[in-house]
Amino acid sequence: MLKKYYLLSPGPTPVPETVLAKAALPIIHHRTEEFSNIFMEMTEGMKYVFQTKNDVYTLTCSGTGAMESAVTNLFSPGDKVLVIVGGKFGERWGQICKAYGVNAIEIPVEWGCAYPAEELEKALKANPDAKAVLCQLSETSTGAVYDIEGFAKVVGKTDAILVVDGISGLGATPCPMDQWGVNVLLTGSQKSLMIPPGLAFISFDDKAWKLVEASKLPKFYFDMKKARKNLAKKTTPWTPGVTLVIQQLEALKIIKEQTMEGILEHHRILADAVRAGVKAIGLELFATAPGNILTSVKTPKGVDGNALVKTMQKKYMAYIAGAQEPRKGEFFRLAHLGYMSGFEMIIMISALEMTLKDLGYPVTMGAGVAATQKVLQEEWK
Ligand SMILES: *Cc1c(COP(=O)(O)O)cnc(C)c1O
């Protein structure tokens, strides 16, 4: 059979055709007025996504580069920070801190679960010398979202700052930086922002800039003071991913047309539709605090979770994501973020039903698809 590739992973995500087409145009030079105008328009658009008046800096790297630049620009050797670890990306914060000699106190959270803001308040009281709290908006490895608004409230009462990794979450679930009082917010280009991998974005408020001024950790490529100086001149310190910047501007046009409210509502509908399908198949959600970015689903008893993901990918070319180590096979992740429409949700649930049947699991073919269709049809606007 002629097979078609369906990218249904929580990053990278599909890219709109109008955005893809931009990559076919000639490369323009970055030290020109033409590029500066594009770059500044893109930066303004990104401020709309971040819902902030602060500057947003564009970095040419994947999301982890923005995480690393947060750590190296905010802290000094031996600084103490609290890290909320409820999955692989929480772990990554801890690993970056360790690499740079920052004393990360890890707060373990059960995978897929919420972490109450009251608990964070207690942890901050027990660690009054903590400079920051590092966490995710959406813990993409489990599908859980955290109460960033609640975290910002309790952190705001202290001298510490809240640093939020919004990679995957920003643009799919609410996180208005200024309104909630998030001190540092960052994201990557290949998840909810609808362009290929390769750009990351980061923003600091005034409270965070004070830490940047005092930071003694080594930095060069990701020096935010250099980025600030250059942004004032409508440019970047180094050659940026020129094509990606042009593509991001194009993708932001779609976000602006839809409005942030519209985009967030779209993700809510896709999440509801997928979950209705999953439940109609008779499967259970993995995360107890699921967000609208992706849905993690427990592998049913008697089914090999790795075989499930492999079959969906190899046989049906439906590229969902499995769970990562050490929980590999235990659950799988159905993505509904970025440039995905309702019909992709039907494809995903349909491929899941066919795969489960292939693996000998009892399914009523079409039950999940019908439930997904029902939600989509009722909510389709
Ligand atoms: C994808 C992701 C990352 C890692 O980003 P890269 O672009 O792969 O470096 C970090 N945090 C979260 C929450 C993510 O979803």
pLDDT tens figures, 22-75: 999 999 999 999 999 999 999 999 999 999 999 999 999 999 999 999 999 999
Residues of the chain with CATH 3.90.1150.10: 259-379
The DSSP output letter for 370 is: H
Give domain 259-379's CATH superfamily: Aspartate Aminotransferase, domain 1 (3.90.1150.10)
Q: Is residue 196 within 6 Å of ligand 1 at its C-beta? A: no
In a 10 Å sphere around its CB, with 0-12 CB exposed, 13-18 middle and 19+ buried, how is residue 5 labelled? exposed
Ligand 1 pocket residue status of 165, Cβ below 6 Å: yes
Q: Which among 174, 130, 126 has a CA at the least distance from the CA of 150?
A: 174
Query: Rounded to whole angstroms, how far apart are CA atoms 111 and 32?
Result: 48
pLDDT of residue 195: 98
Cβ–Cβ under 8 Å, residues 287 and 143? yes
Distance 377 CA to ligand 1 centre (A): 32
146 CB less than 6 Å from ligand 1? no
Predicted local distance difference test score (pLDDT) of residue 381: 86
- Return the CATH fold of 17-257: Aspartate Aminotransferase; domain 2 (3.40.640)
pLDDT of residue 356: 98
Alpha carbons within 13 angstroms on the beta-carbon side of residue 326 total 2
Cα(127) to ligand 1 centroid in Å equals: 28
Which residues in the chain show pLDDT less than 70? Answer: none
Pocket test for ligand 1, best of 67, 167, 244 (most atoms within 8 A of CB): 167
Ligand 1: residue of 91, 95, 109, 165 to mutate (most ligand atoms within 8 A of CB) is 165
N-terminal to C-terminal alpha carbon distance within the chain = 34
Amino acid 286: pLDDT: 98
Q: Where in the chain is the domain with CATH 3.40.640.10?
A: 17-257
Tell me the whole-structure pTM to 2 decimals.
0.98
Instruction: Tell me if 68 CB under 6 Å of ligand 1.
Output: no
Residue whose token pair is 């993700």: 267
Record the tokens describing residue 6, joined without a space: 């369906």
CB-ligand 1 contact for 136 (6 Å cutoff):
yes
pLDDT at 147 (0 to 100): 98
Which atom from ligand 1 is nearest to the alpha carbon of 197?
7
Is there an atom of ligand 1 within 6 Å of 189 CB? no
**63 CA distance to ligand 1 middle (Å):** 5
At 161, which amino acid appears?
I
Length of the chain: 381
